[in-house]
Structure formats: C-alpha cells, structure tokens
Chains A and B, each alone.
Chain A
C-alpha cells in the first residue's frame, strides 16, 4: 500500500539521494566542471521560471497602472488600485463581482454533485468486480477526452427549450462532464489502495456495510477526497467553453467575464489585467495547498507519487 501523504522532508531526502545516484552529487572527480555544469543547470531553470512567472507579474504591473500612464511608460508609474475598484465595482457595465459569485456557486455545486454520485461509484468499482463496471468507468473517462462542443451545441438547443439556459442548475449539470470523471477515477485509485481487510474487520465487529464505508473507508481516504474536491473545483472554475455558450448574463462566470474587458473599440489593458488576476487568485491559492496530491490528481490516478 502506498502512503498518500508523505513527509516533505522525506521527499527531499529522497530527491537528494536521486541527485547523488546520478553521479552528479558533490565530492566526486572533476569538481570544477561539475560546479560550472550546476550553475548552468540552475541558470536554465531560472530561465524557465522567468518565462513561467513573468506574465503573472506583468499582469500585476498592468493592473496597478493608472489609465493615463498605460502606454506612456513601461516600468515607472504611480501605482493605483483604481482598476480593481472599477472591475469589482461593476465598471464598464460588467458586473464582474456577480460573475465571481457565479463561478463560486457553480463550481462548488458541480463538485458537491460529483462527490455525491461519484464517491459511491468509485468505491463500488474499486471493491467489487461486477458486470458493466469497466464500461461505465471508461465511458466516464472518455468524457475527459470528448470535444466539449459535441455535447454543448445540442445542449445549447435543448437548454433553451427546457429553460436551463443561463441558470446555475444548467451549468452545474454540464460541469459534471469535467468534475465527475476526475472524482470517480481518482477516488477509485484511492479506494483500491485501501486493503479490504480493514472494512472486513469492521464488518466482523458488527458494523453494517454502510457504517464500514463511512467510519472506516471514508476517513482513510479523506486527504484524497479533499485533494480531488479542490482539483475538481479548480477545473470547474477555469472552464470557459460551457459558460461561454450556455450562459449569457445571469449565470456567467469570471472566465467569460474577463474577456468582456477586451471588447469595445479600445481594449482597457489595466482593467483586463485586474480582472484576469482576480479570476486566477482562487485556483492559484487552492493549487498551492494540494501540491503533493497533484501528480495522482492530474494523471487521473494513472501515476502515483
């Protein structure tokens, strides 16, 4: 059985060992050449991270620029929070704060529904071999790779007839395409890692199956549930094509809303940057808290760490 949680120090020690085993650790022959190679490697790494972080930093710069200094200078200006006030205060006729709340509601709703129906399915398919189980699992996984528009265009027609267009319910429903496969596949790998003997012992102690699930199995995979919930939330939050087509104003989310600041005859760079930053803050903060579960999460349980 693999431990889902790992001590950070242990991981670092292991990483250190890895460096040594490559024969590139310190204390071997050719120390000078190795040191230079080490510097070059660090420089390459720093180069990549400059590329990776510069856009985020630059958005911060743009968002703090006053409108009249947007293009006159690049790096020297008087910083102001005016852009954030405009964006969050509903400036430009764009109710961005409401879009933010909408993103929150539909993402939480989608994750809750996915957990509700996904956890039992994941548990069942990890514990019992039954007819059709693999088919269901692979159908779910195939959603992950289906072009979204295949489902959305018919839904666009259907939702308008059913009155689900531009509603929370409609969005939460369609976001299952994103969140449900994630929850089922990842939680299945967590449940499969649990030895069934623990639950069997609980059954012998007179627990019912349901009690064994809630009191034994579920607490043991709690870190997995937390991680998968956050990851599913991030993916739902970051989704763009569903709200683009299936909402117009009432249920619109930040990913679509941020794009509206680019519209008009003159794009408002400072407002666009502020809106972009506001919409990436929740996923970024959550991502940093689930670092060590990401490998399993991102690979749908295919790679464990």
Chain B
C-alpha cells in the first residue's frame, strides 16, 4: 500500500465525481426553473412556486400523456419479454439454423432507435409502403398504420419490440445457459413433459435473468422519445403523446422552459419510484433463486 491508503480511493473517484456534479448541476437547475414561469417570452421570470405543477396536474393533456406512457411501457415491456424469452428458448435448443441465427440476433438492437423508426415509417406508409404491399394478397392492403390513434400506438410499440426484443433474448439466453443441469436430468428421468418442465423448472430458475431485462425495458420505455418522435411525433391528435414528447414540445418547440421541465421532473420521479420498487423486487427474487440452488 502507498503512503496515504485511506485517501487513494477518493483521489481515484474524484474525476468521476466532478463529472457527476457537472451533470447534477443542470438537473438541479432544472428543478429550480420549475418554480418560475421561465419561457422565451418571459426572459425575466417570476416566481410561481408550484404553479407549473398545479397547472400541469389540472390539465387533461397531462393525464392523457401519463396514460399513453404507461400503456406504451407496459405493452412494449410485456411483448418484448414474451417474444424475447421465446426466441431464447428456441435458440437454446441449438439447432443448426439456430446457431447461425444467434450470431445476427444482436443486429436490430444496435440500430439507433430513431433510425429504426425511420425505417419502419417508410415501410408502414399506407399507400406506397412495403408492408401494405405484402399484405394486399390477404386483403389487408389499406391499413392506416400510423394514422389512427390505436394504430399509431401499436405501430410505435411494434418498432420498440423490433429494436429491443434481442435485448431480452440475449439476457434470457445467457440465463438459460447458466442453469444447473441436475434438476432437468431428474425431471427427464421422471418423464416430465415439456410444459411441466418449463413451468416448474425453467421459468422459475430463469426468472431472475429475465427480470433484469424486464426492468431495463420497462424503465426505458417509460422515457421513450426517439421512436415516437420519428414515427408519429405524438399524433394523430394526442394518441401517442408520451410524457417526454410532450415535455419536448412544451420546452423546445413552444419554449415554455419551466413548464416543459415540470413534465420531465414528474416523469423522473415516476421512473425513480418504479426503479426502487423493481430493484427491491429483483433483490428478493435473486436471493430466493440463490437459496433454491
């Protein structure tokens, strides 16, 4: 050990700490701004206390955004979990095809979500898009994918699913490959069926891995921005107006800085609370899984 062993770790984390403060500062500043009516038209803002929050919580637009955000996050996380775990199970069988496909599983995940949304936007265009062209033989050539409220929300979720299913699949596959062999051997000896083995053995033992993926996906979808910005920009109407898009429109487009930041502060609080609950749950699940081994 060196001359000042007690001091060394602090010196090592100091640069990271300074950088962290540099990021916490604008966050604190934003929190401070929400107490004023700061906007481009009011460069000398006045103190309004919690007025921004009161206005926001009294608006139907806010509750609509909150509802759409929850629908989006739950829908996307659920669909990605089911599809991702299914893909992982299929890859875990390790057929010849599976081994080849596994190597390219990652591709959609590494494409910027905004680019993915652009790609799907071109494909989902109702009259000249390729998706409707391919659906025409089965009589579904005229679907207005992003031009109806329900269609727009489902299409955005579909793009999210396209990008992030590999994320769940990769983590679930890693989990499947690290499961101990003996319970499965015992089940096979006892002649247990596929469904029974899956429900009683695979899924419970795999769950801690899947849960890590679900938590990441749920929290990320709560703050979705890129996909919806490129695909629908919140429309039609307010049908895909998730909280971050609304915050963007208020703060950047309408330049009502204080009001826009209030939206993100509320979202931040929700994400933070969700994170605490989910991470605590994850801890319990992981402990239980460790005891079961």
Give chain A's interface residues, CB within 8 Å of chain B. 11-12, 14-19, 21-24, 38, 41-42, 44-46, 48-49, 51-53, 55-56, 58-59, 62, 70-71, 74, 113, 116-118, 120-121, 123-125, 127-128, 130, 133, 136, 139-140, 142-143, 145-151, 153-158, 173, 176-177, 180, 184, 203, 208-209, 234, 237-241, 244-245, 255, 258-259, 262, 267, 269, 272-273, 276, 279-280, 283-284, 286-288, 291, 294-295, 298-299, 302-305
Contacts and interface: CB of A to CB of B under 8 A. Distances in A.
Contacts of B213: 299
Contacts, number: 304
A209 B8 CA distance: 10
Interface string B110-150: 11111110111111000010100100000000000000000
A130 B10 contact: yes
Interface residues of B, number: 108
A12 B99 contact: yes
B167 A298 contact: yes
B181 interface: yes
B92 A15 contact: yes
A44 B176 CA distance: 19
Interface of B: 1-2, 6, 8-10, 12-13, 15-20, 22-24, 26-27, 29-30, 33, 38, 83, 86-87, 90-95, 97-99, 101, 103-116, 118-123, 128, 130, 133, 162, 165-167, 170-171, 174-179, 181, 184-185, 187-188, 192, 194, 197, 209, 212-213, 216, 219-220, 222-223, 225-226, 229-230, 243-244, 247-248, 251-252, 257, 260-261, 263-265, 267-268, 271-272, 275
B12 A120 contact: yes
A258 B110 contact: no
A150 B265 contact: yes
Residue with the highest number of chain B CB atoms closer than 10 Å, among A116, A237, A259, A279:
A259
A243 to B, nearest CB: 10
A294 B130 CA distance: 32
Contact of A62 (B122, B181, B187): B122
Nearest to B188: A23
Given A59-B119, A150-B261, A276-B118, A23 B184 contact: yes
A58 B226 CA distance: 21
Contact of A52 (B108, B223, B268): B108
Contacts of B252: 153, 156, 245
Contacts of A158: 26, 29
Contacts of B97: 42, 45-46
Contacts of A17: 181
Given A23-B188, A117-B18, 11 more contacts: A48-B86, A121-B13, A127-B9, A143-B23, A146-B223, A146-B268, A176-B23, A203-B1, A237-B112, A269-B122, A294-B170
A79 to B, nearest CB: 16
B112 A288 contact: no
A136 B223 contact: no
A145 B276 CA distance: 11
A299 to B, nearest CB: 5
